[in-house]
């Protein structure tokens, strides 16, 4: 069984949104950028790191990291959860391998 909240906590929404090509800029306790879900002339897409959520004031899209992946990738809930989880595992493995490689070079 997958711990959905653990997947959400382990995948900061700011990182996932940025990985999908949205350039975020800081504005106090929130970040803004151009919405990936509609033609956005002005940055109306807002990410709230403290609540791990997003909302677009232009098109009304909103939700958490899983909702964001569902919308951008066109996936169902389970598929989005698996996609997020798989990327986390691969990133963790990559970090371990990079550390190991760097440690091996210094010897």
Placement of tokens 């959400």 in the chain: 8
pTM attached to this predicted model: 0.79
Cα dihedral sign, 39-69-79-98: positive
pLDDT in tens, the chain (107 residues): 778 898 899 999 999 999 999 999 997 899 999 999 999 889 999 999 999 999 999 999 999 999 999 999 999 999 999 888 887 644 544 444 455 556 665 54
SS3 at position 60: coil
């Amino acid at each position: 069984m997958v711990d959905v909240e653990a997947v959400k906590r382990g995948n900061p929404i700011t990182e996932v949104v940025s990985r999908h090509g949205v350039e975020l800029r800081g504005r106090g306790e929130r970040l803004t950028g151009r919405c990936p879900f509609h033609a956005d002339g002005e940055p109306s897409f807002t990410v709230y790191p403290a609540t791990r959520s997003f909302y677009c004031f232009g098109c009304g899209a909103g939700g958490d990291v899983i909702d964001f992946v569902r919308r951008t990738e066109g996936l169902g809930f389970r598929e989005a959860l698996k996609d997020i989880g798989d990327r986390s595992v691969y990133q963790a493995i990559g970090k371990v391998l990079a550390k190991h490689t760097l440690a091996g070079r210094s010897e």
